[in-house]
Structure 1
Amino acid sequence: MSKFFKIMHMVGLLFVGVGAGLYLLTDVANEVSGMLTIASLIGLGFVIMAPYPVVLIFEWSQKQQLNSNEDDANK
C-alpha cells in the first residue's frame, strides 16, 4: 500500500516540476489556456502528493504502538 502512495508522490512531484518548468522556462503562462494548464498541473500535483505523508505517519504510529506493546510485555 505504501509503495502505491510513494509512486503517486513521485508522479505528483513530476506534475509540480513540469508546471513550474512551463511557468519559468516558457511563454505559455502569458495566455489564459497556458495559465490554466500550469495551475492545473501544479494543483493536481500537490493533491496527488498529499496522501503520502499521512501514510508515513500511520505507519510510524503503528510501529510505535508495536514497540510499546513489546516493551510492556517485557516488563
Structure 2
Amino acid sequence: MKMLKIVHWLGCFMLLCGSAVYLLTDWSLELQGMLLIATSIGLGLVFMSPYPVVLVIEWMKRQQALN
C-alpha cells in the first residue's frame, strides 16, 4: 500500500511538471517538447490511477466485514 501511495504522488508530480512545461515554456511548439509533455502527463495519469481503485476495494472489504 505504501508503494502505491509513493507511485501515486510520483504521478501527481509528473502531471504537474508536464502541465507546467506546457503552460510556461515554448517547448510545446517543437516535436520533442510535445513528446516530453505528452509522455509526462500520460504516465503521470497512469501512475495515479491504481491507488484510488485499491482504496475503494479496501473500503468495500471493510463494509462487507461489518455486515
TM-score, normalising length from structure 1?
0.85
Using the TM superposition, give the Cα deviation of residue 7 of structure 1 relative to its aligned residue in structure 2, in angstroms: 1.0
Using the TM superposition, give the Cα deviation of residue 3 of structure 1 relative to its aligned residue in structure 2, in angstroms: 1.5
Give, in whole Å, the separation in 1 of the partners of 2:28 and 2:44. 18
Matches within 5 A, 1:50-69: 50-68=49-67
Matches within 5 A, 1:1-75: 2-68=1-67
After the TM superposition, list the runs of 4 or more consecutive aligned residues in structure 1 that deviate by more than 2 angstroms.
none
TM-score, normalising length from structure 2?
0.95
**Secondary structure of residue in 2 paired with 1:21:** helix
Matched positions, count: 67
**Which one has the largest radius of gyration?**
1
Identity of aligned residues (%): 49
Give, in whole Å, the separation in 2 of the partners of 1:30 and 1:58. 42
Structure 1 vs Structure 2 CA RMSD: 0.7
Unaligned runs of 5+ in 2: none
